[in-house]
A and B are shown apart, each in its own frame.
Chain A
């Protein structure tokens, strides 16, 4: 007994090194040798479409839905800058928190407004006064009634410059005043007309009880234990593990079917995949492209996925881009930016990194909207042309060191990289190689999210990459591309174009959707022509859901968990086609 534990442990590791290896030796994507045993996925499964039966049947209440999320939120107060954090917002908005109106998922891809906590609204002809009539009989999870005082309290918190609510406050910079003339009416007066001001107001502000918003904003109890009006209420949050919600049986509308919702926080993608394989998630989110493809092969080791889950592929309103900081002299020249874009081997990237799952884009707007001009073609991958352009812009290797230079300055820059990004880890070595061949030297600097954003906000970078995402197909690019937004706004690359400025200003006061789309198409063309960004791709959501989960359908506004229910028995395995 004395010596065995050591020796045994050693033997196991040795066996692993050898045995673990042999098992996986064949390439994962190759067709399996024993097709008669393995399940073959259907076409719909491969495309990531939900089969018809996933939305059929008579809903039955009961059961808990376990969802995987990738990041631990810093808090659940959806007003706080540090807690708005992209992913978790989906899980609290529409579940715990509700807004005055919601984006109607049935009107994809337009997403019209549908009253939620508001019953109706009156908008003045000059677009400067918005009167909202609130729903009666709505109660917060703590039992208090929801009234206009709460709406006012939320606005008070957002508008207080001492609070870290700058993200939301940016929607209300032109707000003149707001008032609550009676318990069920709220009136907003704006200084200027703006086509999105009402939409922002009713969809961006989650409603919380006024009483819970008193005190130091950074340490409010609701930051950890949110209180809202939604169909689910918060139960508890175990750090780095799970956040649990339960059905709100006092909900003002049709009650949810699910008894509860468990949001499992699993940061590591590999671990998440293994837990998913064990069936620990009803809804698996953020599947890595490589995994998505690896489980497609008809192979007995993929049966668990093919038999147990439906896959969901849904292009979201997200685009990724590489930004060239135009405050750096070398990136001021459009020809240089264009040349660098032509060194981007996008076909290789699509095949080897995105696994042909992401959709190439040139447009800052939602791809299915009328705001993108389909005639804009992507620049080709063309290194010789890129080299010619660089030479035209005056970049030549005059000292023979292999690196281009101009006025004695070598063409070297630093790419800011977020170390958590798997895609960047794969992309940057590739770009480095492509650039080096063209005589451009690329260095890497890693910066964690917080530092990364700080660097971008202060324009302290040469080249960086980011995603712009929105759940709303109606977007204003003023913050991103207007020259005034280079100071303090989201125009991190300091893009300045008088024509685009003028268009963006016109768009803000254009309330006619078609006319706006015309203007937006022009913005799209100009922005791509100027290569403000190297536009990369639209990212889809890659999710998978257990076959017994019903009533789930993807949308830009994520899934509507009010409608989800669980079939009593695990669904029978569909016969192989």
Chain B
């Protein structure tokens, strides 16, 4: 999305260089898969079918529309009612369990209490309330990615704005922005985020995104400021100023597009960072409000099942999800950095 800011001529070049880094390319592919999983979460795992004809009534995409008539029904109850002789049919999601569906909504009686290990019903096992881990993971991906993108989008905006103003106008504005940057940098971010999350009642993802956005913009701001300071003295900026271009035009046409490269790199790394922060917060119980699915929340449950009884699937799968996502963003960021700045690359 931010790539649009890049000067068109350089975009192709950057992509050609990026393409050569197979690791980053692979990471980009992984991210693509992740996005697809998050986007198609309701097709991959849901307690309602993708389409079904039961008892003479046909539903299309009840997993998305969630019709009232099916409120008390799940894939399992529909399966029991399915009468194939009457022409009934059903397209089930990949895993026929939703992220909120506890054992009380599942028909299978089991001898032991959850968490249940991976089996044919639950490919990645269940959590301590019998909710499917795969369903929690793919639906949790939405939360992680949303937090990552929105928080970083927010701080890129803040950092860009402040950096441009400070670098371009200098003087008092620069001094003020520098102070605010320093205050924000000096602040123990984790303590601050925890304090805000702990003291404010969290109902949605908004506070997490806001608080990450408001505390992590400093790198972008400093990058942009330094870049603007450099660009300001260059000929083409001086020239357009000489022909009477407005400040706004200079900022928008010359400075922003040129400063965007390093910002993009910082943003990519930033998304990885934001996802880590979100999962840490959820792990500590300050993140996504329950019962919403989140990777960190699964890991905090896992902490209760390390031994006696063990539930390794609660540790391994969400851990891998976080790890793979963060690695992928970092690798893409690395690839971008090298592609934008060939001096550094390998």
Contact = CB atoms under 8 A, between A and B. Distances in A.
Interface stretch (B35-43, B148-156, B237-245, B309-317): B309-317
B307 A274 contact: yes
Given A426-B129, A430-B102, A290 B309 contact: yes
A235 interface: no
B4 interface: no
B312 A429 contact: no
A167 interface: no
A17 B309 contact: no
A434 B285 contact: no
A433 B100 contact: yes
Nearest to A268: B303
Contacts of B111: 29
Contacts of A30: 112
Contacts of A295: 308
A interface majority secondary structure: helix
A536 to B, nearest CB: 16
A294 B131 contact: no
A288 B291 contact: no
Interface string B280-307: 0000010001110000000001011111
B331 to A, nearest CB: 16
A51 to B, nearest CB: 23
A417 B201 CA distance: 12
A446 interface: yes
A28 interface: yes
A294 B309 contact: yes
Contacts of B102: 429-430, 433
A303 to B, nearest CB: 13
Nearest to A354: B113
A402 B101 contact: no
Nearest to B291: A429
Interface in A440-455: 443-446, 448
Contacts of A433: 100-102, 104-105
Contacts of B198: 448
A277 interface: yes
B310 A269 contact: no
Nearest to B119: A27
Contact of B291 (A273, A294, A444): A444
B234 interface: no
A277 B319 contact: no
A400 B291 contact: no
A425 interface: yes
Given A17-B319, A352-B113, A428-B291, A446 B307 contact: no
Q: Chain A contact residues (Cβ within 8 angstroms of B): what range?
A: 35 or more
Contacts of B202: 446
A353 interface: yes
Contact of B310 (A28, A288, A446): A28
A137 interface: no
A335 B243 CA distance: 80
Contacts of B201: 445-446
A166 interface: no
Interface string A295-323: 10000000000000000000000000000
Nearest to A422: B304
B320 interface: yes
Contacts of B313: 21
A561 to B, nearest CB: 27
B248 interface: no
A36 B202 CA distance: 53
Nearest to A291: B308
Nearest to A355: B113
B114 interface: yes
B131 A270 contact: no
Contacts of A417: 290
A457 B313 CA distance: 41
A28 B312 contact: no
Nearest to A448: B198
Nearest to B290: A444
A390 B111 CA distance: 33
A241 to B, nearest CB: 20
The CB with the most chain A CB atoms within 10 A, among B102, B113, B203, B316, is that of B113
B290 A425 contact: yes
Contacts of B304: 269-270, 288, 290, 422
Given A270-B303, A290-B309, A433-B102, 7 more contacts: A290-B308, A400-B68, A425-B128, A428-B291, A432-B291, A433-B104, A443-B203
7 contacts: A17-B319, A21-B312, A273-B308, A290-B308, A345-B104, A425-B290, A433-B104
Interface of A: 17, 20-21, 23-25, 27-30, 268-270, 273-274, 277, 288, 290-291, 293-295, 345, 348, 351-353, 355, 400, 402, 417, 419, 422, 425-426, 428-430, 432-434, 436-437, 443-446, 448
Closest 3 CB pairs of A and B: A28-B309, A24-B310, A294-B309
